[in-house]
Amino acid sequence: MTTPSPFYLDCDTGIDDALALAYLLASPFACVKGIGTVSGNVSAAVGARNTLDLLALASSDDVPVALGAHDPLAGSFNGGAPWVHGENGIGGVSLPTAAASVAEESAAEMLVRLAHSYPGTLRVVAIGPLTNIAEALRLEPALPSLVVSVTVMGGAALAPGNITPVAEANIWHDPEAAALVLAADWDVTLVPLDVTMASVLEETHRQSLLASSSRVAQVLGEMLGYYFRFYEDIYGRPCSAMHDPLAAALAVGAVKASVAPVVRAAVDTSEGAGRGQTICDLRGLYAGYPPVAGARCRVVLSLEEDFAPHLVETLLTLERAGQPVPVG
């Protein structure tokens, strides 16, 4: 059995963030050492509240949660996406309020601290706008040499965007931060809409979660009801994309990419129609993506296997770990 890797999760919880968090808690390959929140799907503060409450429900309230940036590096938080995630960010589901509160350190400070505590082994999973990660790079320029991997849910490489025709939400919310993160001296795995929109959770999967004896799995199933209604307009049936948990599973290594070229990537920080686009240079497509000198961004374009069964199977292991549901 592999020793679980230490993880720092940066999130804007968010329904699919909740799934990613639960996935990491359930995975035998991950040990979450700290969680920072950032404004995106919801404000950083609401995201922290949701994260604390989910951790308590999963009997994981020993995991510290740090409040991160409310506003992007340029401009200010736009209010989030209640039509996707609900007013409270978790599809209107009410969770018991956890006793724990946020840490005294900021999210960026937590990331820097954990990087020093677990040098060469900390894995960073960023599933919200990249404001905190950019701030951590400013706080600790040596951060790239301290962490072992950075996995970002973000961008739309060849697929359409989801905020504009070309921009994906996490990158669009803070293009300046994303540009800094992609330009830093580390290898980044980008998990874009190309593969997250192709990883679809269906109603049968949701029913499996609802039928679980784990309260965590149940509330995830309840949240997904809201999420499915948003995605019904996009897919033409009740189901949803699996953005954030897929990034978590790729970071853990439990899911493998089949096509994931390492290419040059930049972010459009102009005020033009392309603002917020993650520009991945995929011009090597026709020759099977030959190596590109100096390229640092691994763009996941397809998976070896369908992700949804693995996700549901992993979440259902929470039955053994989470609080039992009252029988009634």
* Residues making contact with a copy of itself (CB under 8 A): 158-162, 164-166, 197, 233-236, 264, 266-275, 277, 279-283, 285-288
Least Cβ distance, residue 290 to a copy of itself (angstroms):
8
- Closer residue to a copy of itself (CB): 219 or 303: 303
Instruction: Identify residue 117 by its one-letter amino acid code.
Output: S
Nearer to a copy of itself, 182 or 247 (CB): 182
How far is Cα 41 from Cα 179, in angstroms, rounded to an integer? 20
| Closer residue to a copy of itself in complex, CB, 294/328 | 294
**Cβ-based burial of 228 (10 A; exposed 0-12, middle 13-18, buried ≥19):** buried
Helical segments of the chain, H only: 15-26, 44-57, 82-85, 107-117, 131-139, 143-146, 169-173, 175-183, 193-196, 203-210, 215-235, 243-252, 307-316
Provide the pairing of β-strand 239-241 with 200-202. antiparallel
**Which is it for strands 123-126 and 265-267: parallel, antiparallel or unpaired?**
unpaired
Q: How many angstroms separate the CA atoms of 212 and 317, rounded?
A: 9
243 annotated active-site: yes
Give the nearest distance from C-beta 188 to a copy of itself in angstroms: 16
Nearer to a copy of itself, 15 or 280 (CB): 280
> 41 or 277: whose CB is closer to a copy of itself?
277
Residue 240: alpha-carbon gap to chain centroid: 15
Query: By C-alpha distance, which of 247, 236, 237 is closest to 303?
Result: 247
Shortest separation between residue 40's beta carbon and a copy of itself, angstroms: 19
φ/ψ bin of 253: left (φ > 0), alpha (ψ from -120 to 50), beta (otherwise): left
173 is catalytic: no
Shorter beta-carbon distance to a copy of itself: residue 253 or 274: 274
Q: How far is the CB of 73 from a copy of itself (least distance, A)?
A: 17
Catalytic-role residue among 85, 173, 243, 310? 243
Is the preceding peptide bond at 14 cis, omega within 30 degrees of 0? yes
Output the smallest distance, CB 239 to a copy of itself, in A. Answer: 10
- Among the listed residues 12, 17, 53, 194, the single catalytic one is 12
What is the nearest approach in angstroms of a copy of itself to the Cβ of residue 234?
Answer: 5
- Per DSSP, 137 falls in state H
Give catalytic residues, as residue numbers: 12, 243
